[in-house]
Amino acid sequence: MSDILDRLRRMRAADAPTHGGHVLSYVYDSGLGELDELADAAARLARPLNGLDPTVFPSIAAMERDVIGFTRRMLHGRRSVVGTVTSGGTESCLLAVKTARDLWRLSHGGSSGRPRLVAPATAHAAFIKAAQLFDLEFDAVPCSPDGVLAASDLIDRLDDDVALVVVSAPSYPTGTLDPIAEVAAAASTRGISCHVDSCFGGFVLPWWPGLPAWDFRVHGVTSISADLHKYGYAPKGVSVLLQRGRRRHRAQFFATTGWAGYPVVNPTLLGSRSASPLAAAWAITQHLGDDGYRRLTDSIGRVALAVRAAVDGIPGLRVIGDPVGPAIALGSDDSVPVAERVDPHRLADAMVGHGWKIQPQPGLVQQDGVRIAHSAHLTLTPVLESQVEEFARALAEAADEVRGRPAADPKMMLAALRMLGYGEGGRVPGPAAAWRLLRLAGAGSVSADQPMAMLMALIERLPRSVAEAVLTELLARMSEP
């Protein structure tokens, strides 16, 4: 048996490091080793359970009550706020959308119509997925080039066919706190549901100083998502969706007695589900409590200040917009001459050579033609505090290496693709053609330290349907036996 585990260890050696703060996306290291041990032990205890049925395994309901109660207190929900533990941010967002759609249909005479979901273009892609799955029209409200939403732009789009508006606290791409109070008030007067997506910041912003109210204190906010597997510091597989009012919460459920087996009653999308992530999150919230999260948030606050100060001292680079909380996006400072600018994707590629991974984000040309700048995303975590000077030095050195180099330009590749019929309004490649295109672009496989600037530039400029088919192919091929 030990050789099996040895094989797994060897496979894991190829992974980007999950601890230590050198990967500034996907992973959330508190820097407290005891949290991992506690989470592992709790997860092991709960491993054989099936979260499908808390009547058979009441420990699951007990842990859920504690976790939901903790989250509700933190987000200033009253007793009428109830909720569900889900498998992650995407599932929480999906359920918020499904609930709002079902309530919209009920209030529209049981209509099976196709309502709209209105959200800033910076809202997480989980809402595009939800709109696709639950048959809503996704109406993306254009933001400024720095990813800032003007409340009136969103409010102007509200009408009787809108089932849900979504705002973020904060948004992932630029760390912006949307104008939640204005949007929620406008939604409320029109009887429209309003979801605050705090999947990313839900376990940080409650302790972040100087913020306007953004949670259940805001009248008109009807649901909030907050991920324990991000800044709750739990292992992957756990998030909370809170709903204002039992009626709304119950609309989230699927229940049927209409088949030959046991009655099925699910608050979530899954049937059978692991209780291990819940148990790990329960143990961590019990251990950290309010004070523990406050201390970790204070640490992130110091990291954010130090990183922003470091970026201010790097010519040609800037922090995009005015981020709140633990996400920062770096962009090129276009106010300086071209020769002094630092392209964020070139910077991300150069940072790999210094042992750090920051996440390139392609630019987004919105409906109104305004482009949200391409950038490099940083997820800031407490573990970074002890190395923030080293990180700042690496940023400065990497910036020196790429300063003046223009952004990658996939002109030749795009011309070739257009000739092959994959230009705007052209064909969408099937699996074989998409694979050929990937190889043509030199991206037949993506390894942890492969330069990404050209691929990102290509993704931004390709027709969306082509880019999506090509990326689907890349991911699908990775797991083909």
Ligand X SMILES: Cc1ncc(COP(=O)(O)O)c(C=O)c1O
Residues at the site binding ligand X, with contacts judged by CB under 6 A: 88-90, 93, 124, 126, 168, 172, 197, 199-200, 227
Positive or negative, the CA dihedral 438, 444, 448, 449 is: negative
Nearer to ligand X, 70 or 200 (CB): 200
Nearer to ligand X, 126 or 462 (CB): 126
Least CB distance to ligand X at residue 195 (A): 10
Least CB distance to ligand X at residue 55 (A): 28
In degrees, to the nearest 5, what angle opens at C-alpha 149 toward C-alphas 217 and 318? 110
Nearer to ligand X, 28 or 422 (CB): 28
Q: Which amino acid is at 217?
A: R
Least CB distance to ligand X at residue 47 (A): 21
* Helix, strand, coil % in the chain, rounded to nearest 5: 45, 15, 40
Nearer to ligand X, 126 or 373 (CB): 126
Least CB distance to ligand X at residue 88 (A): 4
Nearer to ligand X, 243 or 332 (CB): 243
Residue showing the smallest CB distance to ligand X in the complex: 89
Give the 3-state secondary structure of 291-345: HHHHHHHHHHHHHHHHHHHHHHCCCCEEECCCCCCCEEEEEECCCCCHHHCCCHH
What Rg do the C-alpha atoms of the chain give, in angstroms?
Answer: 23
Question: Distance between CA atoms of 346 and 363, rounded to whole angstroms?
Answer: 14
> Pick from 453, 449, 431, 428: which is nearest to 441 by CA?
453
Nearer to ligand X, 172 or 216 (CB): 172
Least CB distance to ligand X at residue 435 (A): 27
Least CB distance to ligand X at residue 439 (A): 29
Least CB distance to ligand X at residue 99 (A): 16
Nearer to ligand X, 76 or 129 (CB): 129
Positive or negative, the CA dihedral 464, 171, 236, 243 is: negative
Nearer to ligand X, 146 or 197 (CB): 197
> Quick one: angle between helices 411-419 and 453-461, nearest 10?
50
Question: Which strands sit side by side in the sheet containing 162-168, from one edge to the other?
Answer: 81-86, 239-244, 223-227, 193-198, 162-168, 116-120, 137-141
In degrees, to the nearest 5, what angle opens at C-alpha 367 toward C-alphas 214 and 437? 110
Which residues have C-beta within 8 Å of that of residue 449, sequence separation ≥ 6?
Answer: 352
Least CB distance to ligand X at residue 177 (A): 11
